[in-house]
Amino acid sequence: MIEDELKHTTEAMQKLPVVRRTLELLREKLPTELYYHSAPHTDDVLSETLRFALTDKLSPREIELLAIAAACHDVGFITRPAMNESLGAEHARLEMTQAGGYTEQEIALVERMILDTALVETAVGPKQIPSTNLSRYLLDADLSNFGRDDFFDKGELQRKELGIDQEIFRKNSFALLNAHRWLTNAAMKLRQNKKEQNLGLLKSMVFSQADASSLGFDRLGFLAKLPILLNSNLDTQKVIRIALGELKGRIDAKAATIFLLDEDQSTLSFWALQGQENHRLEGKKIPADIGIVGWVIQNQEAVIIKDAAADPRFFSQIDKDGGFITRSMVCAPLSVREHSKIGAVQVLNKASGPFTPDDLDFVIQFSHQVALAIENAQLYEAVALRSKQLELVDSKKNELMGLLAAEFRDPVAMIGTSAELLGSGALNDGFMVEKTCNALSTGVQRLSKLIADFRNLSLASSLHLTIQRERCLVLSIIRQAVASFQSVLPLRGVSITMECPESVGSVEGDMNLLVIAVGNLISNAIRFTPDTQSFVVKASKVDGFVTIEVTDHGRGMSHQEASRIFDGMQDLPPAHEISASCYELNSRGLGLGIPAVKTILRAHESTLEIKTSVGEGSSFFFSLPSPS
Residue 355 sits in a domain of what CATH number? Answer: 3.30.450.40
In a domain, 337, yes or no: yes
In a domain, 53, yes or no: yes
CATH number, domain of 507, equals 3.30.565.10
Question: What's the pLDDT score for residue 211?
Answer: 47
In a domain, 401, yes or no: no
Return the percentage of the chain with pLDDT > 90, whole number. Answer: 23
Cβ atoms within 10 Å of 28's Cβ, excluding its own: 9
Q: 225 and 161 in one domain?
A: no
Q: Where is pLDDT greater, at 588 or 86?
A: 86
Question: What's the pLDDT score for residue 580?
Answer: 42
Among candidates 489, 481, 462, 613, which has minimal Cα distance to 539? Answer: 481
Return the percentage of the chain with pLDDT > 70, whole number. Answer: 76
In a domain, 435, yes or no: no
Question: What's the pLDDT score for residue 202?
Answer: 84
Q: 181 and 68 in one domain?
A: yes
Distance in angstroms (rounded) separating the CA atoms of residues 370 and 244: 9
Q: How confident is the model at residue 398 (pLDDT cuts 50, 70, 90)?
A: low
Q: Where is pLDDT greater, at 272 or 101?
A: 101
pLDDT in tens, 541-561: 988 899 999 999 888 888 777
Q: 489 and 468 in one domain?
A: yes
Q: 184 and 164 in one domain?
A: yes
207: exposed, middle or buried (Cβ count in 10 Å: 0-12, 13-18, 19+):
middle
Eight-state DSSP code of residue 573: P
The residue among 382, 413, 430 that closes a domain is 382
Q: Are 523 and 597 in contact (CB under 8 A)?
A: no
Q: Which of these ranges, 85-94, 179-188, 414-423, has the smallest mean pLDDT?
A: 414-423
Q: How confident is the model at residue 239 (pLDDT cuts 50, 70, 90)?
A: confident
Q: Where is pLDDT greater, at 410 or 38?
A: 38
Cβ atoms within 10 Å of 196's Cβ, excluding its own: 12
Distance in angstroms (rounded) separating the CA atoms of residues 603 and 606: 8
**pLDDT mean across residues, the chain:** 80
In a domain, 255, yes or no: yes
Give me the helices (H) in 163-216, please: 166-179, 185-206, 209-215
Q: Which of these ranges, 137-146, 202-211, 260-269, 334-343, has the smallest mean pLDDT?
A: 202-211
Q: Are 300 and 268 in contact (CB under 8 A)?
A: no
Cβ atoms within 10 Å of 558's Cβ, excluding its own: 11
Q: 498 and 357 in one domain?
A: no
Question: What's the pLDDT score for residue 339?
Answer: 54
pLDDT in tens, 5-58: 899 999 999 999 999 999 999 999 888 888 888 899 999 999 999 999 999 999
Distance in angstroms (rounded) separating the CA atoms of residues 81 and 626: 32
Region 84-97 average pLDDT: 90
Residue 436 has pLDDT above 80, yes or no: no
Residue 109 has pLDDT above 90, yes or no: yes
Question: What's the pLDDT score for residue 234?
Answer: 65
Q: 603 and 586 in one domain?
A: yes
CATH number, domain of 11, equals 1.10.3210.10
Question: What's the pLDDT score for residue 238?
Answer: 80
Question: What's the pLDDT score for residue 393?
Answer: 58
Q: 169 and 232 in one domain?
A: no
What are the φ/ψ torsions at residue 484 (nearest 5 degrees)? -70, -5
The residue among 328, 358, 382 that closes a domain is 382
In a domain, 68, yes or no: yes
Question: What's the pLDDT score for residue 70?
Answer: 94
Region 283-303 average pLDDT: 82
Among candidates 410, 366, 365, which has minimal Cα distance to 168? Answer: 365
Region 445-461 average pLDDT: 61
Q: 310 and 201 in one domain?
A: no
Distance in angstroms (rounded) separating the CA atoms of residues 7 and 355: 53
Distance in angstroms (rounded) separating the CA atoms of residues 140 and 147: 10
Distance in angstroms (rounded) separating the CA atoms of residues 466 and 480: 21
Task: Tell me the residue type at 289.
Answer: D
For CA atoms 489, 494, 495, 499, give the dihedral sign: negative
Q: 97 and 217 in one domain?
A: no
Question: What's the pLDDT score for residue 412?
Answer: 67
Q: 247 and 129 in one domain?
A: no
Among candidates 19, 236, 31, which has minimal Cα distance to 110? Answer: 19
In a domain, 541, yes or no: yes
Q: Are 194 and 149 in contact (CB under 8 A)?
A: yes
- Domain containing residue 112: 2-207
Q: 138 and 47 in one domain?
A: yes
Q: Which residues face 270 on adjacent strands?
A: 259
- Give the side-chain half-sphere CA count within 13 A for 103: 4
Tell me whether strands 534-542 and 545-551 are parallel, antiparallel or unpaired. antiparallel
Question: What's the pLDDT score for residue 527?
Answer: 85
* pTM as predicted: 0.41
Q: 536 and 473 in one domain?
A: yes
The residue among 352, 382, 412 that closes a domain is 382
In a domain, 406, yes or no: no
Number of domains in the chain: 3
Q: Which residues face 347 on adjacent strands?
A: 256, 330
